[in-house]
Structure 1
């Protein structure tokens, strides 16, 4: 097949799982003999824009006519069988959906988060899960400044959500939801269930696999409240007060809580804070872990680090909500703790290392789950089947 992939890359100082998924999927499709053309914009380019162009960026979030025209020309030149849309914020906009409709090309869109019903895509506000905008208008998001804590910064996203909802839902031929949890929330919000298919992200075969019992417990990811970093610190302090677990905690990543985490780690001999690490370094850290810790406070749409740990034969301790309940078989491939409960998380961290034999069995089971559902073969099958279904679907005649 000939496929055009549409994506707006995140800023490089904030490494994105979505960018990685796009790179891995395009490489996988190309290696399987498909012809892939990338239509991309990069958020890094905003920094080099003139002041007038920078000022205009928020105005183009709901609708960017230039992006529509440029994609239309690409579609005319390439004549693809299908278009695969990922992120369109902030430099592409939903106008790319209209370009596909204009060209009569079926389109699929991967929903990496909850942005179809929540302006920041997290369903999380003020330290709690928030569904105030689900099934209604995004006015609460503006009132609370859900994007970057600013009503002004949130307004373009809210406007885009309000005016483009029907365009997305009618113009896209098929949506890929990266978990059943994500799909259920979107169906409850009114999205057309018949267009929503679950297609898990795949993970490449890791460069390192665990050999032994593991040297540390590992948190790897963004250092933000919604990722459960503060919850992890509270749970670790509980364990430390009770004698610890015999292994250090390693924290790798960056984010708004950098300084807080670094200061906390300096006071504890059993914690190592490494900051941002390369992908290869993260893979090595994962393969040396007794368990991966994913204590997210918000409802994760997927959880790439959990699957990457499984690929390396490492079990996970994860929050028992969102997609994690699909990715971690409690007591078999890892442990699920009560969301937001430091005591429950501490108990699971102690249990996951208490028996090396049981830990190894969980790691082996996690590896088996990876091979069954998340390896590149499964990823290619999901993509190709979704594309074929979209191509076989009669075109919608609703205006977009």
Structure 2
């Protein structure tokens, strides 16, 4: 199969789960013998633009006509069987869908966040879940300045969502939702249910497994309010005041709260802030963990770090909402805390470190869950199934509605939402 992957790469200065997923899927397809091309733009390139060029970027968010022309020319030259669209913000825009329609190439799109129904893609405002724009217009997001706290910055995203909503819904033959929780939200917002398939992200099996009981608790990810960083700090301070849990907390990542985290960790023996780790150091840190902590306050559409922990045989403490409730079986492969509750998070951190035998059992269960639902073989199968369905739908060969779940485990009521990435 010949696949062209379309993706706007996020800034390299901060960790991006979406960039990682794209790279892993491309490598997986190529290793399986498929021909994969890339049509990319990079957010890093914005810095090299002139002042006028930088000022023009918001105008390209709803529609970039140059991209339509460039991609159409690429499609006519390469003639791929299918185009796989990932992120189009801010330099690609939904003009990529028009290019595919111009040439008659079927389209698959992975929905890494909630950008189809929420301009910033997070379903969160002021640190709390928000669905005000879901199923309606994005005007509330503009009024509240939901993207980066700025009305002006939110306008291009809201305009793109409003103008291009029908283009997305009609121009994509198969959407990949990265969790059943995310699919439930999007179907409820009116997206075409028969084109929304659940395809969890996979994680390569690096054979970096935990050996022993682990040395630390680990937070690995973006240092942002939505990821629950402040919640984790509050819970950890409460634990420290009560004598601690016997192992340190390692915080790895970068983001807007980096200064706050650095100051909080300074001079403490029970906390180590280690900055931004590369891929190898991330894997080693996960494999040395008693547990990985994912306390997000926003409704994660997936949770890549959760599955990376499972692959290493490490249990997880995660917020009990969004996709986490379908990734983590509470009390079996990890623990779920009350979303936004620092006392509940502190209690789970104490429990996960207190019983080493139980912790090892959870780690083994987590590894089994990974092998059943998130390994490369499963990921490849679902990718190719989605491509074939899109090709059949575009050629008039019919379309089979996707199952409500992903087949890797029991369904639960997950209407509260889901991690992939936020803008």
Residue 239 (structure 1) shift: 1.0
Q: Does the 8 A contact of 2:11 with 2:42 survive in 1?
A: yes
| Mapped pair 1:175 → 2:166 | no
Separation (CA, whole Å) in 2 of partners of 1:363 and 1:23: 27
Residue-by-residue CA offset, 1:185-211 (whole Å, 9 max, x unaligned): 101111010110000000011252100
Separation (CA, whole Å) in 2 of partners of 1:142 and 1:331: 41
**SS across alignment from 1:393:** helix
Separation (CA, whole Å) in 1 of partners of 2:279 and 2:331: 29
Separation (CA, whole Å) in 2 of partners of 1:14 and 1:251: 14
Aligned positions of 1:128-147 closer than 5 A: 128-147=128-147
Structure with the bigger RCO (C-alpha within 8 Å, sep 6+) is: 2
Residue 53 (structure 1) shift: 1.7
Q: For residue 248 of structure 1, what is the aligned residue in structure 2?
A: 248
Residue-by-residue CA offset, 1:330-349 (whole Å, 9 max, x unaligned): 01100000001111111111
Separation (CA, whole Å) in 1 of partners of 2:26 and 2:65: 26
| Mapped pair 1:257 → 2:257 | yes
Residue 268 (structure 1) shift: 2.6
Q: For residue 408 of structure 2, what is the aligned residue in structure 1?
A: none
Aligned positions of 1:339-350 closer than 5 A: 339-350=339-350
Residue 364 (structure 1) shift: 0.5
Q: For residue 391 of structure 1, what is the aligned residue in structure 2?
A: 391
Residue-by-residue CA offset, 1:271-299 (whole Å, 9 max, x unaligned): 11111111111111100000000000000
Q: For residue 84 of structure 1, what is the aligned residue in structure 2?
A: 84
Separation (CA, whole Å) in 2 of partners of 1:242 and 1:148: 37
Residue 11 (structure 1) shift: 1.0
Larger deviation, residues 259-268 vs 90-99? 259-268
Residue 163 (structure 1) shift: 0.4
Residue 353 (structure 1) shift: 1.2
| Mapped pair 1:44 → 2:44 | yes
Residue 267 (structure 1) shift: 4.4
Separation (CA, whole Å) in 2 of partners of 1:17 and 1:242: 35
Residue 15 (structure 1) shift: 2.1
Q: For residue 364 of structure 1, what is the aligned residue in structure 2?
A: 364
**SS across alignment from 1:19:** helix
| Mapped pair 1:190 → 2:190 | yes
Aligned positions of 1:296-315 closer than 5 A: 296-315=296-315
**SS across alignment from 1:293:** strand
Separation (CA, whole Å) in 2 of partners of 1:3 and 1:176: 15
| Unmatched tracts of structure 1, length 5 or more | none
TM-score, normalised by the number of residues in structure 2: 0.92
**SS across alignment from 1:214:** coil
Q: For residue 59 of structure 2, what is the aligned residue in structure 1?
A: 59
Q: Does the 8 A contact of 1:207 with 1:283 survive in 2?
A: no
Q: For residue 18 of structure 1, what is the aligned residue in structure 2?
A: 18
Q: Does the 8 A contact of 2:317 with 2:335 survive in 1?
A: yes
Separation (CA, whole Å) in 2 of partners of 1:45 and 1:15: 17
TM-score, normalised by the number of residues in structure 1: 0.98
CA-atom RMSD in angstroms? 1.0
Q: Does the 8 A contact of 2:129 with 2:298 survive in 1?
A: yes
Separation (CA, whole Å) in 2 of partners of 1:124 and 1:269: 34
Q: Does the 8 A contact of 2:235 with 2:345 survive in 1?
A: yes
Residue-by-residue CA offset, 1:340-366 (whole Å, 9 max, x unaligned): 111111111111111111100100110
| Mapped pair 1:223 → 2:223 | yes
Q: Does the 8 A contact of 1:336 with 1:348 survive in 2?
A: yes
Q: Does the 8 A contact of 1:104 with 1:395 survive in 2?
A: no
**SS across alignment from 1:114:** coil
Separation (CA, whole Å) in 2 of partners of 1:57 and 1:331: 47
| Unmatched tracts of structure 2, length 5 or more | 397-423
Separation (CA, whole Å) in 1 of partners of 2:37 and 2:15: 23
Separation (CA, whole Å) in 2 of partners of 1:224 and 1:173: 34
**SS across alignment from 1:297:** coil
Q: For residue 239 of structure 1, what is the aligned residue in structure 2?
A: 239
**SS across alignment from 1:217:** strand
Residue 394 (structure 1) shift: 4.1
Q: For residue 375 of structure 2, what is the aligned residue in structure 1?
A: 375
Residue 44 (structure 1) shift: 0.8
Aligned positions of 1:94-173 closer than 5 A: 94-173=94-173
Separation (CA, whole Å) in 2 of partners of 1:113 and 1:159: 18
Separation (CA, whole Å) in 1 of partners of 2:22 and 2:334: 28
Q: For residue 7 of structure 2, what is the aligned residue in structure 1?
A: 7
**SS across alignment from 1:136:** coil
Residue 101 (structure 1) shift: 1.0
Q: Does the 8 A contact of 2:300 with 2:322 survive in 1?
A: yes
Separation (CA, whole Å) in 2 of partners of 1:75 and 1:188: 34
Separation (CA, whole Å) in 2 of partners of 1:231 and 1:44: 30
Q: Does the 8 A contact of 1:286 with 1:312 survive in 2?
A: yes
